[in-house]
């Protein structure tokens, strides 16, 4: 296999990946960014509502970073590492200012300063935004910025696996150019996994088709743990039936959820925060309404914007308006938008500290949704994901740079060939199961049994289904033998990544016998701090999932009852 | 049917034959064209880039004249004039900053625009209001056996946000009209490509290439004639075709005529009455549709 | 009846319609061929979902790009029923209704070389985007945090309009000027270029004019980019706005000619309220007009030289509307 040497390789070219690459390159380290899609296609572009930030001199006069941390900790149902959340809040202002300097076109106040709005779970309004295409605006700004820097970007290259040596040290990554199918061993002392989320594991998701959890699979196979894998966020307002995200900004701007009787049902579930309660609370409320017969027949509720007026809707909520019109044929100026919960975000991820560093495998870093820095705990607040990608993308980049300066060049020469042999098996097989057959069953199992509401029986059933599906991956085969842009081959590799993660999620969900944030057990509806105020760490060892725990780091906020 | 008529500068200038044929055909079909009082230029597709406020103000003056005459609509045979007015109508509604400046300009003039009157292409009037059956009933000399390429160009179709009469990718109004004459309409790949006219001012070489692409695409489908809906396409496809011929060493021509000229021929008018351009006459004579030259 | 109202009454049973999808396929090994798939869809089914289902349920070898399924990532640009469209922004049954045909054709975009099935090589597109220096060059004081950017809400709105390009390539794939003129940067790059050219926070405006101005005069105003842009950026309008800038030093031949021509049109209208062709020709082309005259006479149009269109009577009103003389 051809070899190419870098100091560091970043896998993924969304906000987290590009941000870390920028800070690695800034110190003159040689960095490659590998992405299976052209950078602007990354899922960061789909983030809509905004980025939370406390900006000194441009925030609510009563607000301060501590309120922001408190909101994040409480929103995450106390499974948040509080030092990480403090870092997130404290650096939020400067990160938005950096993006502003680089040209991000934030909406403005009449005096020219960056504008602000409310998002779910915020004590004071903190969300900065570019219409409702904030993710797209930030991703383009950052990509355009980095395209002028000394960073080698490899768009449409698929990362297969990490190369790890005998002393549990990262040696690099094997990736393949999708067009030519030419594999290269990218030799590097540090690898940042910034591969984003995993929505495709679920039947209903707001995520991109490309969100197949590739980084989680790679990390698990390299022996690194996934932290808090059972915590999957379901966004309450996905458009029915296409699952296109209707941003929380809609509710931030005043939209109201109503059941089939026209009742504002959130008054029952969150009497103070109402429609702007955190996402786990609202998702459960919607599904409870539906279960108790107050949903619309297609199993959804209405998101009412009509009182906001046409001009306001079209200017501030353009994307929501357009999505409802284009994809559901609903004119939001005149009628409620049909919505239901769908998978949206993954709080779990590759276990890293606040510097983005995995402490078990030397040279392994992760950032963004792929990582679990534990700023979101059991439930992420809206506007905190864009913020996390940039704040921790930068922290990780800076750490990698420091790590590289302190770490000598690799002397060993680990053989990367087995990674290829393993992958090529799928193409070499002449018969077996095509990936689609496994995928559709997985998505149903996850949605039905590892979804918004969970219980012991369902999780056991899911685990057994997933385990047998995971066995089937071994029999998977690729019908297409083309040597140019063979997407079926890459779909098969994605399938493998998805299965490795799915089994870990199901197992961890089964083992957490309490309800916390987005993990809701019908059989254990209460939070149980005595037994479960700990992080889950899940490893894959051969055919088994190993679960251990790790303490939650608390600084100033003791757990209290979570009411909104 | 009585309708306000906006000929436009080219139609009253070097493409005068478009005006002549259009008036004859309209009369035959019982349409009374009433020329807009003291109309002004629409900006020719260029004024809006130099001076967007003047562009809108001037176009609104024409529509204001139309309203004063008691009409709520005017029709034009020229796609560029159509596009220019339609654009003015839309941006005046949508762009609040521009609207403010335009209102400032028209304040001390006689221009009063209600926002209700609009501009339509003559082809739309023929297809939608007059109708295929009426047109067919006037045909005296069917053009059976002649293959006529239907060339839409740009400005009658795009963008649909301004125009919207038919889907730019599946337009069929010209084919419909050609069919009424008994001729065989030819739908060719470059039917809605640019004729190159707007590029003549700045990059003639490129403009000739665009014109060639259109002509060649239609010729490849064995067309005898090309029919179009625009006074500026008319100049480009007629006069400039000679330049294209020289530039690309062509051994053939594909003469172009305006849609009402084709209709007029089928209605039995002579080439002289319709002012059919010279190169088209050659083909029509050769094909036996014109007996006198 | 609106869909929500229908759904409220529970009358919708997600009615399925059978469609035939014809895909123009290509692989290096096999060349080009058309393949047909049949599947049942409802009125909410996006073409991206059609493709996903074909791949998952019928033919895993079908290759295409798709990511966000909400028209912000720009991956799924292709030709659908012959027109450049985003697959995600197109509903299958909308096409069936509009074309009155349950057969839907999918082809790769024009212009870009086909790599595999619906996947094209967009290198040329990306290179054009990079060539306009698509990033803000703020002042050093701002970068060093010694000064602060402010931006008026109206400027933000204007720039944001053109900043929303999602790099899908549809406009370039269907642009006739790109096809004939390698010096033309294409609609997307112009929208992107203008977004920075007009940004009051930028510091390299002169260089941007050098990059953009010559190219801007190579656009032929066919409005194809305006029509096909799935984000309604209206790139041609960015080109029109770019033409209003005057570079600090020497214009290229193309932009000099173009500007002369447009100036002549404006002058003619200011003088007479009409576009006097002879005047514009003479003014714009000078001696070059004589060459054209030969063709003009040859075409038999000489007689129209004598047609003299009368100027607008109320010329003072025209002048007022054009902002001349109070």
- What pLDDT digit, counting tens, does each position of C88-124 carry? 999 999 999 999 999 999 999 999 999 999 999 999 9
**Same structural domain, C141 and C238:** yes
Q: Which helix (H) or strand (E) holds B256?
A: strand B256-258
Contact (CB<8Å) A479/C72: no
Residue C156 sits in a domain of what CATH number? 1.10.1060.10
Kindly report each contact of residues B111-115 with a partner whose C-beta sits within 8 Å and lies 24 or more positions away, as own/partner: B111/B57, B111/B60, B111/B61, B111/B64, B111/C317, B111/C321, B112/B64, B112/B67, B112/B68, B113/B60, B113/B63, B113/B64, B113/B67, B114/B67, B115/B89
Reference A201, options A25, A21, A451; nearest CA is A451
Beta bridge partners of B34: B4
Residues 116-175 of C with CB under 8 A from B: 154
- Cβ atoms of A391 and A95 within 8 Å: the answer is yes
Count CB-CB contacts under 10 A for residue C13. 9
Q: B193 touching C, CB under 8 A?
A: yes
Which residue ranges form the domains of chain A, and what is each CATH number? 232-344 (3.90.700.10)
Residues 470-509 of A with CB under 8 A from C: 478-488, 491
Contact (CB<8Å) C226/B46: no
Beta-carbon contacts of A543 under 8 Å, excluding residues fewer than 6 positions away, are none
Average pLDDT, chain B: 96
Which of C61, C65, C115 is the closest to A488 by Cβ? C61
> Among the three residues C120, C136, C154, which one is the final residue of a domain in this structure?
C120
Q: C141 touching A, CB under 8 A?
A: no
Mean pLDDT of A537-563: 95
pLDDT value at residue A9: 98
Whole-angstrom distance, CA of residue C70 vs CA of residue A208: 9
pLDDT value at residue C5: 43
Mean pLDDT of C247-251: 79
**Same structural domain, C214 and C185:** yes
pTM of structure = 0.95
Reference A161, options A376, A344, A414; nearest CA is A414
Q: C269 touching B, CB under 8 A?
A: yes
**Same structural domain, C141 and C52:** no
DSSP state of A408: P
pLDDT value at residue A299: 87
**Same structural domain, C107 and C165:** no
- Cβ atoms of C6 and C12 within 8 Å: the answer is yes
pLDDT band at B50 (very low <50, low <70, confident <90, very high): confident
- Confirm whether C73 is domain-assigned: yes
Determine phi and psi for B89, rounding to 5 degrees.
-60, -45
Kindly report each contact of residues C51-57 with a partner whose C-beta sits within 8 Å and lies 24 or more positions away, as own/partner: C51/C87, C51/C106, C51/C118, C52/A209, C54/C21, C55/A436, C55/A487, C55/A488, C55/A491, C56/A435, C56/A436, C56/A439, C56/A440, C57/A436, C57/A440
Question: Tens digits of per-residue pLDDT, A465-511?
Answer: 999 999 999 999 999 999 999 999 999 999 999 999 999 999 999 99
Question: Tens digits of per-residue pLDDT, A232-250?
Answer: 999 999 999 999 999 888 9
Q: B124 touching C, CB under 8 A?
A: no
ipTM for the predicted complex comes to 0.95
C-alpha distance from residue B208 to each of B194, B202, B285, C213 (Å): 11, 12, 27, 21
- Confirm whether C5 is domain-assigned: no
Beta bridge partners of B119: B74
**Any idea how long chain B is?**
293
pLDDT value at residue B292: 55
Which of A108, A298, A327 is the closest to C156 by Cβ? A108
pLDDT value at residue C299: 86
Which of C70, C122, C138 is the closest to A46 by Cβ? C70
pLDDT value at residue C110: 97
pLDDT value at residue B128: 98
pLDDT band at C293 (very low <50, low <70, confident <90, very high): confident
Whole-angstrom distance, CA of residue B248 vs CA of residue C199: 43
Taking CA–CA distances from A303, the nearest residue in chain C reads C4
Mean pLDDT of A427-456: 96
So which residues of A are the catalytic ones? 279
**Same structural domain, C285 and C312:** yes
**Same structural domain, C178 and C111:** no
Task: Sheet containing A152-155: give its strands across.
Answer: A152-155, A31-35, A8-11, A190-193, A364-366
pLDDT band at B293 (very low <50, low <70, confident <90, very high): very low
Number of domains in chain C: 3
- Confirm whether C198 is domain-assigned: yes
Lowest mean pLDDT among A94-103, A302-311, B284-293: B284-293
Tokens 């003559």 correspond to B122
Whole-angstrom distance, CA of residue B195 vs CA of residue B210: 6
Beta bridge partners of C77: C86
Whole-angstrom distance, CA of residue C228 vs CA of residue C173: 10
Whole-angstrom distance, CA of residue A47 vs CA of residue A63: 25
Mean pLDDT of B132-147: 97
Range of the domain at C175: 123-243
**Same structural domain, C259 and C303:** yes
Which CATH architecture fits B140-286?
Answer: 3-Layer(aba) Sandwich (3.40)
What is the CATH topology of the domain spanning B2-122?
Answer: Glutathione S-transferase Yfyf (Class Pi); Chain A, domain 2 (1.20.1050)
Which stretches of A45-140 are assigned E, i.e. beta strand?
51-52, 127-128
Task: Sheet containing C17-27: give its strands across.
Answer: C31-41, C17-27, C103-107, C77-80, C83-86
pLDDT value at residue C309: 83
CA A133 remoteness from chain centre: 17
3-state SS of chain C: helix, strand, coil percent to 5? 45, 15, 40
- Cβ atoms of B211 and B240 within 8 Å: the answer is yes
> Among the three residues C201, C224, C243, which one is the final residue of a domain in this structure?
C243
**Same structural domain, C182 and C210:** yes
Taking CA–CA distances from A113, the nearest residue in chain C reads C150
Lowest mean pLDDT among A39-53, A67-81, C300-314: C300-314
What is the domain partition of chain B in residue ranges? 2-122, 140-286
- Confirm whether C176 is domain-assigned: yes
Residues of A with Cβ-Cβ distance to C49 under 8 angstroms? 242
- Confirm whether C8 is domain-assigned: no
3-state SS of chain A: helix, strand, coil percent to 5? 40, 20, 40
DSSP state of A192: E
- Confirm whether C140 is domain-assigned: yes
pLDDT value at residue C4: 42
> Among the three residues C84, C99, C120, which one is the final residue of a domain in this structure?
C120
- Confirm whether C326 is domain-assigned: no
C-alpha distance from residue B3 to each of B6, B122, B133, B229, C158 (Å): 10, 10, 20, 18, 38
pLDDT value at residue B106: 95
- Cβ atoms of A425 and A467 within 8 Å: the answer is no
Question: Tens digits of per-residue pLDDT, C215-234?
Answer: 999 999 999 999 999 999 99
pLDDT value at residue B291: 66
Whole-angstrom distance, CA of residue C235 vs CA of residue C216: 11
Average pLDDT, chain A: 96
Residues of A with Cβ-Cβ distance to C27 under 8 angstroms? 482, 484
Question: Tens digits of per-residue pLDDT, B204-252?
Answer: 999 999 999 999 999 999 999 999 999 999 999 998 999 999 999 999 9
For an interface test with A, give the residue of C12, C30, C63, C132 to mutate (most A CBs within 10 A). Answer: C63
Whole-angstrom distance, CA of residue C108 vs CA of residue A323: 25
Whole-angstrom distance, CA of residue A19 vs CA of residue A395: 9
Contact (CB<8Å) A440/C56: yes
**Same structural domain, C127 and C110:** no
Q: Which two tokens stand for residue C181?
A: 């003129």
Residues of C with Cβ-Cβ distance to B38 under 8 angstroms? 312-314
Which of B46, B110, B242 is the closest to C265 by Cβ? B46
pLDDT band at A131 (very low <50, low <70, confident <90, very high): confident
**Same structural domain, C102 and C23:** yes
Which of A109, A144, A436 is the closest to C134 by Cβ? A144
pLDDT value at residue C207: 96
Subunit partners of chain C (3 or more CB pairs within 8 A) = A, B
**Same structural domain, C266 and C206:** no
pLDDT value at residue B5: 98
- Cβ atoms of A135 and A45 within 8 Å: the answer is yes
pLDDT band at A375 (very low <50, low <70, confident <90, very high): very high
pLDDT value at residue A348: 98
Q: Which two tokens stand for residue B56?
A: 């809108």
Contact (CB<8Å) A439/C57: no
pLDDT value at residue A176: 98
Instruction: Choose between C49 and C15: higher pLDDT.
Output: C49
Question: Tens digits of per-residue pLDDT, A321-337?
Answer: 989 998 888 999 999 99
For an interface test with C, give the residue of B95, B171, B202 to mutate (most C CBs within 10 A). Answer: B202
Whole-angstrom distance, CA of residue A69 vs CA of residue A71: 5
Beta-carbon contacts of B164 under 8 Å, excluding residues fewer than 6 positions away, are none
**Any idea how long chain A is?**
564
pLDDT value at residue C7: 44
**Same structural domain, C262 and C229:** no
pLDDT value at residue A150: 96
């Amino acid at each position: 296999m051809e070899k190419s040497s870098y100091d560091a390789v970043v896998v993924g070219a969304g906000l987290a990946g590009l941000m870390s690459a920028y800070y690695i390159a800034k110190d003159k380290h040689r960095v490659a960014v590998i992405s299976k899609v052209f950078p602007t296609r990354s899922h960061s572009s789909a983030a809509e509502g905004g980025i939370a930030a406390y900006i000194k001199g441009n925030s609510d006069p009563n607000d301060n970073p501590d309120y922001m941390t408190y909101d994040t900790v409480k929103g995450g149902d106390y499974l948040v590492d509080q030092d990480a959340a403090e870092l997130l809040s404290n650096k939020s202002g400067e990160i938005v200012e950096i993006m502003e300097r680089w040209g991000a076109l934030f909406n403005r106040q009449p005096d020219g300063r960056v504008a602000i709005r409310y998002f779910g779970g915020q004590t004071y309004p903190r969300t900065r935004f570019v219409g409702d295409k904030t993710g797209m605006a930030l991703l383009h700004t950052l990509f355009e910025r980095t395209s002028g820097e000394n960073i080698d970007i490899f768009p449409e290259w698929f990362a297969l696996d990490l190369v790890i040596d005998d002393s549990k040290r990262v040696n690099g990554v094997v990736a393949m150019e999708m067009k030519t199918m030419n594999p290269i061993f990218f030799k590097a002392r540090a690898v940042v996994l910034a591969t984003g989320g995993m929505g495709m594991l679920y039947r209903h998701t707001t995520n991109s088709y490309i969100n197949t959890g590739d980084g989680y699979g790679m990390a698990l196979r390299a022996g690194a743990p996934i932290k808090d894998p059972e915590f999957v966020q379901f966004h309450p307002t996905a458009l029915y039936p296409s699952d296109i995200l209707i941003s929380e900004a809609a509710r931030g701007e005043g939209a109201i959820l109503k059941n089939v009787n026209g009742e504002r049902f959130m008054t029952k579930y969150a009497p103070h925060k109402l429609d702007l309660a955190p996402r786990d609370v609202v998702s459960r409320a919607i599904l409870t309404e539906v279960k108790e017969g107050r949903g619309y027949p297609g199993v959804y509720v209405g998101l009412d914007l009509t009182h906001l007026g046409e001009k306001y809707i079209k200017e501030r909520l353009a994307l929501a308006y357009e999505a409802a019109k284009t994809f559901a044929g609903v004119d939001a100026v005149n009628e409620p938008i049909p919505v239901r919960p769908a998978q949206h975000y993954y709080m779990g991820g590759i276990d890293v500290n606040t510097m983005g560093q995995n402490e078990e495998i030397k040279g392994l870093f992760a950032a963004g949704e792929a990582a679990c820095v534990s700023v979101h705990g059991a439930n992420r607040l809206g506007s905190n994901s864009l913020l996390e990608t940039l704040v921790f993308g930068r922290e990780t980049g800076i750490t990698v740079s420091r790590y590289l300066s302190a770490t000598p060049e690799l002397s060993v020469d680990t053989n990367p060939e087995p990674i290829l042999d393993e992958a090529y098996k799928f193409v070499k097989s002449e018969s077996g199961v095509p990936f689609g057959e496994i995928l559709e069953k997985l998505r149903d199992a996850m949605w039905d049994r590892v979804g918004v509401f969970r219980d012991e029986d369902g999780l056991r059933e899911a685990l057994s289904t997933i385990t047998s599906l995971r066995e089937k991956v071994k029999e998977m085969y690729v019908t297409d033998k083309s040597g140019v842009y063979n997407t079926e081959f890459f779909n098969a590799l994605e399938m493998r990544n998805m299965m490795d993660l799915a089994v870990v999620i199901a197992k961890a969900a089964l083992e957490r016998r309490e309800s916390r944030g987005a993990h809701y057990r019908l059989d254990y509806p209460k939070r149980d701090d005595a037994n479960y105020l700990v992080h889950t760490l899940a490893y894959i060892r051969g055919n088994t999932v190993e679960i251990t725990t790790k303490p939650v780091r608390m600084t100033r906020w003791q757990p209290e009852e979570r009411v909104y | 049917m009585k309708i306000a008529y906006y000929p436009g500068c080219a139609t009253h200038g070097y493409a005068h034959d478009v005006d002549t044929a259009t008036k004859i055909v309209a009369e035959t079909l019982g349409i009374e064209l009433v020329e807009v009082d003291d109309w002004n230029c629409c900006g020719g597709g260029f004024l809006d880039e130099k001076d967007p406020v003047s562009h809108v103000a001037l176009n609104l003056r024409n529509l204001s004249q139309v309203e004063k005459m008691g009409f709520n609509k005017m029709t034009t045979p020229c796609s560029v004039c159509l596009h220019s007015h339609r654009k003015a109508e839309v941006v005046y509604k949508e762009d609040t900053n521009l609207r403010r400046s335009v209102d400032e300009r028209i304040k001390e003039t006689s221009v009063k625009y209600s926002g209700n009157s609009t501009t339509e292409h003559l082809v739309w009037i023929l297809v939608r209001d007059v109708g295929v059956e009426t047109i067919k009933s006037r045909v005296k000399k069917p053009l059976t056996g002649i293959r006529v390429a239907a060339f839409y160009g740009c400005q009658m179709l795009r963008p649909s946000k301004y125009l919207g009469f038919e889907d730019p990718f599946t337009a069929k109004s010209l084919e419909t009209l050609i069919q009424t004459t008994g001729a065989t309409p030819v739908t060719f790949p470059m039917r809605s490509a640019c004729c190159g006219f707007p590029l003549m001012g700045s990059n003639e070489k490129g403009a000739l290439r665009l014109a060639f692409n259109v002509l060649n695409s239609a010729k490849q489908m064995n067309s005898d004639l090309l029919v179009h809906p625009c006074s500026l396409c008319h100049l480009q496809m007629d006069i400039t075709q000679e330049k294209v011929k020289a530039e690309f060493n062509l051994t053939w021509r594909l003469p172009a005529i305006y849609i009402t000229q084709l209709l007029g021929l089928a209605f039995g008018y002579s080439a002289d009455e319709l002012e059919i351009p010279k190169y088209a006459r050659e083909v029509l004579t050769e094909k036996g549709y014109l007996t006198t030259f | 009846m609106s869909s929500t109202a229908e759904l409220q009454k529970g009358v919708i049973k997600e009615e399925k319609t059978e469609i035939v999808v014809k895909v123009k396929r290509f692989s290096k090994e096999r060349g080009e061929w058309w393949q047909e798939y049949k599947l049942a869809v409802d009125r909410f089914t996006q073409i991206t979902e059609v493709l996903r289902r074909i791949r998952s349920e019928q033919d895993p070898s079908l290759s295409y790009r798709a990511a966000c399924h909400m028209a912000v990532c720009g991956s799924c640009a292709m030709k659908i029923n012959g027109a450049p469209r985003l697959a995600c922004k197109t509903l299958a049954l909308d096409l069936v209704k509009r074309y009155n045909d349950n057969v839907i054709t999918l082809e790769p975009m024009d212009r870009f070389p086909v790599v595999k099935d619906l996947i094209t090589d967009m290198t040329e597109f990306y290179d054009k985007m990079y060539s306009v220096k698509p990033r803000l060059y703020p002042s050093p004081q701002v970068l060093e945090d010694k000064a602060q950017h402010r931006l008026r809400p109206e400027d933000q709105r204007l720039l944001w309009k053109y900043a929303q390009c999602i790099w899908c390539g549809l406009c370039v794939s269907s642009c006739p000027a790109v096809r004939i003129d390698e010096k033309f940067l294409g609609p997307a790059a112009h929208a992107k270029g203008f977004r920075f050219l007009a940004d009051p926070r930028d510091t390299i405006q002169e260089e941007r004019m050098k990059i953009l101005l010559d190219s801007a005069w190579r656009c032929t105003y066919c409005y194809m980019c305006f029509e096909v842009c799935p984000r309604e950026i209206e790139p041609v309008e960015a080109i029109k706005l770019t033409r209003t800038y005057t570079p600090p030093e020497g214009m290229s031949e193309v932009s000099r000619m173009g500007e002369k021509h447009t100036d002549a049109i404006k002058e003619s209208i200011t003088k007479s309220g009409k576009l006097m062709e002879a005047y514009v020709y003479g003014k714009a082309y000078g001696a070059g007009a004589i060459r054209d005259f030969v063709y003009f006479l040859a075409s038999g149009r000489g007689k129209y030289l004598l047609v003299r269109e009368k100027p607008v009577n109320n010329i003072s009103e025209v002048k007022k509307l054009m902002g001349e003389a109070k």
